[in-house]
């Protein structure tokens, strides 16, 4: 016998928590990557002989190299954090599969 009155399939699935933390983390990671690119560009501009864009912070070549290295580190950290957040956002909580078995979309 078929009882379709009052049946709701959404009750059978577990409730998913909001993923606002992962979205916020991805946004912060994108900001880190953007600031890393800007710092690297400012340091490279000093190497190319353009006026110092950060004032006295990168007037010498040694200080400019520190700015470039810190910009590249910030860029790589931002990209890694963004990819991790995006991977967890796309992961479904219904199945427990290994990450290397998922589709490579990121």
Q: Are 43 and 58 in contact (CB under 8 A)?
A: yes
Q: Is the pLDDT of residue 59 over 70?
A: yes
* pTM of the complete model: 0.67
Q: Which of 18-22, 24-28, 63-67 has the lowest mean pLDDT?
A: 18-22
Of 67, 88, 78, 69, nearest to 20 by C-alpha is 88
Mean pLDDT of 60-77: 91
Residue 94 has pLDDT above 70, yes or no: no
Mean pLDDT of 42-64: 77
d(CA 1, CA 67): 73
């Amino acid at each position: 016998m078929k009882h379709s009155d009052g049946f709701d399939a959404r009750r059978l699935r577990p409730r998913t928590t909001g993923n606002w933390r992962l979205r916020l983390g991805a946004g912060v990671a994108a900001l880190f990557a953007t600031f890393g690119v800007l710092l690297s560009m400012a340091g490279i501009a000093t190497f190319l002989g353009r006026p110092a864009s950060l004032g006295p912070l990168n007037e010498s070549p040694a200080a400019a190299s520190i700015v470039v290295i810190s910009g590249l580190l910030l860029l790589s950290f931002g990209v890694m954090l963004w990819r991790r957040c995006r991977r967890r956002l796309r992961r479904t909580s219904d199945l427990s599969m290994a990450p290397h078995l998922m589709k490579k979309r990121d």
